Amino acid sequence: MPKHFFVVALCALGLACSPLAADARKPNILLIYADDLGYGELGCYGGKHVPTPNIDALAAGGIRLTQGYVSAPLCSPSRAGLMTGRYQQRFGHENNSMTSENGLPLNQTTIAQRMKKLGYATCMVGKWHLGSSSEHLPMARGFDEYLGVLGNPGSYFEPHGYIDSRISDQPQKDFPENFYTTEVFADRASQWISEHREQPWFLYLPFNAIHGPHDVTEKYLQRFATVEDKRHRQLFALLSAMDDAVGKVMQTLRSSGQEENTLVWFISDNGAPPHPDGNVPLRGNKYQCWEGGIRVPFIVQWKGTLASGTTYTQPAINLDVLPTCIAAAGGTIEPDWQLDGVNLLPYLKGENTARPHRTLYWRIDNRWAVRHDDWKLVVGIPTVEKPELFNLAKDVSEAHDVADKHPDEVAELTSLWDAWNAELADPPTKIKSDKKKAKRNAERAKNRKE
C-alpha cells in the first residue's frame, strides 16, 4: 500500500490528523500553590503536628526539593514571578502593592497565555492576587475559566472578591450555608479535570490556605481536639483541610486515568509567619529574606518520566516552573522572553548534574539577599545594620554570621547583587517605614489581648 494512501486512510478515520492525536503525548500540568505554608510543616519535610498523607504522597511519587525557593517572601510578588518566569522586580512588582497598574503589568506574558498557544485548555481555581480590574482578571490573562478569590478574601466562608466566571466576571456576595473555600476549590478543580480529559490541560490551583484568617469547620477542628491552644488548633486544621483537598484532586486524576500523564507541582508562595513547625530548621519568617521567608516546600511529580521517592538537593526557584512546563509540552523557550527561570527537566532527570542556578537574588522593601553557590549575603530585615554572610552548606539555619571572616566573599556577592539591582525597576509605591509598621503591629497585638 502506498504511504500516502495509508496516511489519507488514517486521517479519514480521525486518527492521525485530529487535534487529539497531535496532542496525545503532551502532558497535562497541575500547578498547586499553597499560601503561607512553611518549610517545616508538611510530614515529608519533617512536620510533626499535622498528618499530610496526600501531599506526602506527591513527594513519594515524585521529587522533593530540599532547596526550593520562591522569588519573594510575600504573596503577590511571589505569584508575579511564578506567572511570568521572571524576577518580578524587573517590572516593578516588588510587594503586595503590585505595580502602578495595580496588578500584574499587561505587557507581561503569563504561563497560561503561553500554554494556550501550545494548544492547552487553561483554568485557574483559587487565589489570584495579581489585580482586580477587568483587564487584569485571570480570564484576561490566559485562563479560559476562573473560580476563586481576587486577593486575601477575609473569610473562608463568605469570601470577598469571589468570582466564578461560569456565572459572572463580577464578585459574588451570596454563599451557600456550607460554603468553604478549600473544599469548593477542590470540587471545581476535580470537576474541570474530569471535563477536560480529552485534551491537554493546564490547571493552576493556588489555595488561600493556610493564610489567615484561620477559619475552619468543626469537621477539621475535631481532628485536633486535644490541642489546647486555639490558634494552633485552627492552623493545624487548616492544613489538614488543604491536604484533604489535594487528595481529592489527585484521586480525580487517578480515577480518570490521567495521573501518569500529568506533571504536578506543589509549592508554597512564601515562608510561614511564626508558629509551630513553621519554617524549622530555617531562620526567619514570611516577609524576611532569611531562608525561612524564601525556602519553601517544593515538590514535582511526573510519574513515568521523573524518578519517584527521591530528593533533589540543588537550588531551584519558582521562576523555573514556566520554562519547565513549556519544555514538557514540547514548546520552545524564546530568548526574547527574557526569562530568569530555567527548564528543570534535565536537572531533575539527572542528565545535567550542574546547579540550575549558581546565583539567585531577592529584593523587597529594603530587604535583600543574594545566594552564589553556597554563600549567601542577606539583609533579612531593614533594621539589620549590615549584610550578614552565611555558608548555607554548613549553616542552613543562618546562625553564624561570618562576614568579618570572609571579606572577599562579601565583596563578590555585593558586586553581584549591585549589578542585578541596577537592572530593576523602582517599586511603584513609597515604602512604609519600619517604625510605623512596628507601631501598627504593637497596636494589633494589644487589641488581640483585650
What does the alpha-carbon distance between residue 428 and residue 94 come to, in Å, rounded to a whole number?
Answer: 8
Non-local (6+) Cβ contacts of 117 within 8 A are 331
Tell which residue, 125, 295, 137, 277, has the closest CA to residue 202: 125
Looking at 44, 93, 123, 129, which residue is catalytic?
129
Helices 75-84 and 321-328, axial angle in degrees (round to 10): 30
Q: How many CB atoms lie within 10 A of CB 446?
A: 9
DSSP codes, 224-265 = GTT---HHHHHHHHHHHHHHHHHHHHHHHHHHTT-GGGEEEE
What does the alpha-carbon distance between residue 268 and residue 280 come to, in Å, rounded to a whole number?
Answer: 15
Q: DSSP 3-state assignment of 323?
A: helix
Cis peptide before 210 (omega within 30 of 0): yes
Which helix (H) or strand (E) is 370 found in, with range? strand 367-372
Tell which residue, 129, 78, 85, has the closest CA to residue 103: 129
Cα angle, residue 186 at apex, residues 28 and 153 outer, rounded to 5°:
115
Cell readout for 418 is: 549591585
Q: DSSP 3-state assignment of 279?
A: coil
372 noted as active-site residue: no
75 noted as active-site residue: yes
Tell which residue, 198, 194, 202, 180, has the closest CA to residue 253: 194
Cell readout for 52 is: 499530610
Non-local (6+) Cβ contacts of 332 within 8 A are 326
Looking at 44, 75, 123, 325, which residue is catalytic?
75
By residue count, the chain amounts to 450
Region of 180 (left: φ > 0; alpha: ψ -120 to 50; beta: rest) is: beta
As annotated, the active-site residues are 75, 129
